[in-house]
Amino acid sequence: MDLCCNQLRGSIPSELGSLSRLGFLSLQYNQLSGGIPPSLGNLGLLKRLTLSYNHLSGPIPTSLANIQQLQILDVQNNSLSGAIPTGMSLSSVYENYILI
């Protein structure tokens, strides 16, 4: 699902976590704020999650470590805090950007 560059505002809906067949979620270059919903950890088939260039804050939810298929997590240019959740199977880590 590509929702990039749509000037979306508000928080990321936790209901996105119920889209169990989602393979990629692209929300970059919007004006989203708040935290990353832990429910996104339910997206077991997700291979790419792109949340960069928003106004997100708080930690990266530990539930994202449950996504075994996840290859790319792009969270750069937000105001996230804390460590990368342990157990994430991503091989390369950059400042606020994780790439396999």
Sorted by where each starts, the structural domains of the chain and their CATH numbers stand as 9-99 (3.80.10.10)
Q: Tell me: the pLDDT tens digits for 3-61?
A: 999 999 999 999 999 999 999 999 999 999 999 999 999 999 999 999 999 999 999 99
DSSP code of residue 12: P
* pTM metric for this prediction: 0.86
